[in-house]
Structure 1
Amino acid sequence: MVKTLGTERHKALIALLVEKREAAGLTQTELAAKLGEYQSFVARLESGQRRVDVVEFLELAELLNFDPAKAIRQIVGSRN
């Protein structure tokens, strides 16, 4: 399997997550608190240093109030 960090899809995912966090009016620190993590956890996600697994993605979608299926379609569509 190809490494995913730094790919166009990974960059699109990160951009989407940052956009959704900002739209929710949350700082990295506030989102981290909701996740039960440190701010550095969110910073690593948003800087592309860490992958987001499916379970984390679903939790982020719930906390940031977005439709995860629609977001995936948007990411896949951005590649075409």
Structure 2
Amino acid sequence: MIELLVEARERSGLTQTELGARLGRYQSVIAAIEGGGRRIDIVEFLAIADALKMDAAQVIEAVRAVPA
């Protein structure tokens, strides 16, 4: 899921700092999430998806489609 969020951020042309500003977070928090050092809960996931103008349900479906 994080890979999809990173790809969406990069496609949107946002830096980690810009995404952080949209979320009211520091760049270091975004870096920790993207680097796998910090997990996110569903509320944070939805906020990130909204900030990136992503359909959260599509992201979840994409994750579910990946073989375990």
* TM-score normalized with structure 1 length: 0.81
Aligned counterparts of 2:7 and 2:57: Cα–Cα separation in 1? 16
* Aligned twin of 1:33: 21
Aligned-residue RMSD, C-alpha: 0.9
Match of 1:17 in 2: 5
Query: Which structure has the bigger radius of gyration?
Result: 1
Identity within the alignment, %: 51
Equivalent residue number for residue 52 of structure 1: 40
Q: In the TM superposition, what is the alpha-carbon distance from 1:57 to its structure 2 partner?
A: 0.6
* Structure showing greater relative contact order (alpha-carbon pairs closer than 8 Å, 6 or more residues apart): 1
What TM-score comes out, normalization by structure 2 length? 0.94
Long gaps (5+) in structure 2:
none
Structure 1 gaps of 5+ residues are 1-12
The counterpart of 1:73, out of the listed 45, 61, 65, is 61
Large movers: runs of 4+ above 3 Å: none
